[in-house]
A and B are shown apart, each in its own frame.
Chain A
């Protein structure tokens, strides 16, 4: 917990918000994963997190996202915009 305070004229403590850092960043991701575990255990085979096909799919999406972010950087802003426009049109075709 940040200990940097300033005090107003009435003596109220106001945090000096120089950054919005948390000392528990790792735990924060963990709490999301703990929630997943909670659902897995509570809802057993009904839980979406125990669905093998979906878990494989989501892992695949994660890998693709990793790759995509790197490709985006390589493409540059202008080219990326063109790709997005084209993809938008393709995905909406025939609906």
Chain B
């Protein structure tokens, strides 16, 4: 593990104070994160609703590693996984005296920028999963922004000093909207480099016109499917989605995307203990088998909603560490917990060096280390077997080098060289300084490239692409590199039981909501779903018209009844599939 040779630190019991919310009344309360029986828990007490305890991590060792800090001889922290990101100016003045998390957003307490912008395109869906918050039939109202409102949200995210580079359309099922291709095009026109749809595959899988539709949305600008994929067994989907024989439906999405050339699919698996946790190895192998179109897998330990007793939560609760253990177990130890995984925030300094030297928009993953872990898999050119990309270079060394490098040059970002401007004034002096800065960056780039590549262990096209990432830091290089690898990640979204306001403040995944007064609210993912959603939706909800109710799918004008039949035919309720 990275820098984990400090046994004294490992032997100390972990403890820190933070703030959370009461799962009953959602009021802010103090909380403690502590170690017990080699696991990490959160405890908190609400004056009105009593004591609460919840598991944060099933591995104290792993958790402590991600909260470890490098200190100098005076005990000052010089590097750690959790860090404050660069912030955009706040969108609003926090009017609620209780502060975070009630003032989203974003308010002045937020200390990360948005890396991934989200827009809920609709709460209509062809599935009817009983645990989902976004369901038009259960909620009794429609949430569906107009094109003008979507345009307003996109403008909001792209007009900030540090704009969001990627956008994801969520729902409901976003592809039931007739204007979905138009919305994808709109996102590209706004300058989003990555346009993503969080989908169960509905629009892509249709037997009648699914392929043509897939081609159409790709042409319009859709880059990636964030594709709901709970496993390879029909029985798993029956448990998670309540629909029988769903795997052919899922396979058809993969096949149509392959044929349409939409070859960036991220499989998204909700991991619930005893339900989908046995599928993690299956999903990895499935991704490898479909590696020409599958770019990554995101495992999402399930968030728990509603009133659940501690004992029951103990049974249901699955943490990032559990997912990593399952992956290690189910891949024969090839993707090991101790060597393959890093918190997303690990590469922040490296990203900053690259962005500074290449003069590009930085992509900052300054989320809290508890939010998620990632690992890249790549094909060993010698054996043809997939392995963690850590086998390609020494990750500890390159991260160390990048950290030291950034520490040395970060002052230059704020204070470029102004030698000639001071001597000769603006005009010629400025031009000469521009040249000087260019030369300085060129020599820095050469040093950085050598410093990182000295730790490379394997040659080949992938490493050549990696060197392009280091030189350019541009989207073309990053995107192409990601096409040569398989990204594995685990993202644990918070619920009211385990909410940690240190995580909330560092959230990098933000919803954008167009409000009736013409403004846009930017709200961090976990607070939206745990705290703000009911109040927000009360303000933006529309009445369900007979048209919405009856013409469920605006793409085809089909009725809800017909859609259900189609789901049944295409992998749904009927056992007799016409596959």
Residues of A within 8 A of B (CB): 1-2, 8, 10-15, 17-25, 27-29, 31-36, 39, 43, 47-49, 54, 57-59, 61-62, 65-66, 68-69, 72, 83-84, 87-88, 91-92, 95
A-B CB contact pairs (8 Å), 9 listed: A12-B278, A20-B377, A24-B291, A28-B292, A31-B263, A49-B480, A62-B461, A84-B397, A95-B408
Task: Give Cα A10 to B405, complex, Å.
Answer: 54
Closest B residue, CB atoms, query A58? B464
Could you tell me if B282 and A31 are in contact, using CB atoms closer than 8 angstroms?
no
Q: Which residues does chain A contribute within 8 Å of B397, judged by CB atoms?
A: 84
Of the candidates B278, B480, B484, the one having the most CB atoms from chain A within 10 angstroms of its own CB is B480
Instruction: Give Cα A11 to B467, complex, Å.
Output: 47
Q: Does B88 contact A (CB under 8 A)?
A: no
Which of A1, A12, A29, A59 is the one whose CB lies under 8 Å from B462? A29
**Which chain A positions have C-beta within 8 A of B463?**
62, 65
B335–chain A nearest beta-carbon distance, Å: 8
Asked if A21 contacts B451 (CB within 8 A), the reply is no
Task: Please tell me if B519 contacts chain A, counting CB pairs below 8 Å.
Answer: no
| Complex CA–CA separation, A35 to B478 (angstroms) | 11
Interface residues of B in 331-354 (CB under 8 A from A): 331-332, 334-335
Is B289's CB under 8 angstroms from A58's CB?
Answer: no
Q: Is the CB of B456 within 8 A of A95?
A: no
Top 3 A-B pairs ranked by shortest CB distance? Answer: A32-B484, A95-B408, A20-B386
Q: Is the CB of B449 within 8 A of A15?
A: no
Q: Say which one of B4-12, B74-82, B231-239 lies at the interface with A.
A: B231-239
A61 to chain B: closest residue by CB: B467
Q: Which of B401, B408, B461, B474 contacts A29 (CB 8 A)?
A: B461
Q: Given A31-B292, A36-B480, output 17 extra A-B contacts at Cβ < 8 Å.
A: A12-B235, A12-B236, A15-B285, A17-B330, A17-B331, A20-B335, A21-B383, A21-B386, A22-B288, A29-B461, A32-B462, A34-B263, A34-B483, A35-B480, A58-B467, A84-B455, A91-B447
Contact of B232 among A13, A19, A29, A72 (CB under 8 A): A13
State the CA gap A57–B445 with chains docked (Å). Answer: 13
A13, B458: Cβ atoms under 8 Å? no
Asked if B464 contacts A61 (CB within 8 A), the reply is yes
Once bound together, how far apart are the Cα atoms of A68 and B459, in whole Å? 9
CA distance A42 to B57 in the complex (A): 45
A88 touches B453 (CB 8 A): no
Q: Is the CB of B291 within 8 A of A28?
A: yes
Q: Tell me, yes or no, whether B457 is within 8 Å of chain A by CB.
A: yes
A48 to B470, CA, bound (A): 13
Chain A residues with Cβ below 8 Å from B292 are 24, 27-28, 31
**In the complex, what residue of chain B is closest to A72 when comparing beta carbons?**
B457
By the criterion CB–CB under 8 Å, are A31 and B484 in contact?
yes
Task: Write the chain A residue with the least CB distance to B470.
Answer: A61
B515 within 8 A of A: no
Report the separation of the CA atoms of residues A27 and B292 in the bound assembly, to the nearest whole angstrom: 7
Query: B401-436 CB contact bits vs A (8 Å, 1 = yes)?
Result: 100110011000000000000000000000000000
Most buried by B among A2, A36, A47: A36
- The answer to whether the Cβ of B385 comes within 8 Å of any Cβ in the partner chain is yes
- B401 x A35 contact (CB < 8 A): no
* B480 interface neighbour in A12, A32, A87, Cβ under 8 Å: A32
Note all chain B residues with C-beta closer than 8 A to A83. 454
For residue B454, which residues in chain A have a CB less than 8 angstroms away from its CB? 68, 83-84, 87
Chain A residues with Cβ under 8 A from B461's Cβ? 29, 32-33, 62
Contact A25 B379 (CB under 8 A): yes
Considering only residues 235-262 of chain B, those with a C-beta below 8 Å from chain A are: 235-236
Among A27, A32, A95, contact of B409 (Cβ-Cβ < 8 Å): A95
Asked if A27 and B480 sit within 8 Å, CB to CB, the answer is no
Q: Is B483's CB under 8 angstroms from A69's CB?
A: no
Judge whether B281 is part of the interface by a CB distance below 8 angstroms: yes
Q: Are B476's CB and A62's CB within 8 A? A: no
Contact partner of B401 (CB less than 8 A), chosen from A19, A47, A69, A88, is A88
Cα of A72 to Cα of B456 in the assembled complex, Å: 10
Verify B449–A61 contact, CB threshold 8 A: yes
Given contact pairs A21-B384, A92-B404, A13 touches B451 in the complex (Cβ within 8 A): no
Interface check B134, CB cutoff 8 A = no
| A24 contacts across to B, CB distance below 8 A | 291-292
User: Which of A1, A39, A43 is B289 in contact with, Cβ under 8 Å?
Assistant: A1
Q: How far is the CA of A76 from the CA of B441 in the complex (A)?
A: 34
Q: A35-B479, A36-B480 are in contact. Are A21 and B385 (CB under 8 A)?
A: yes
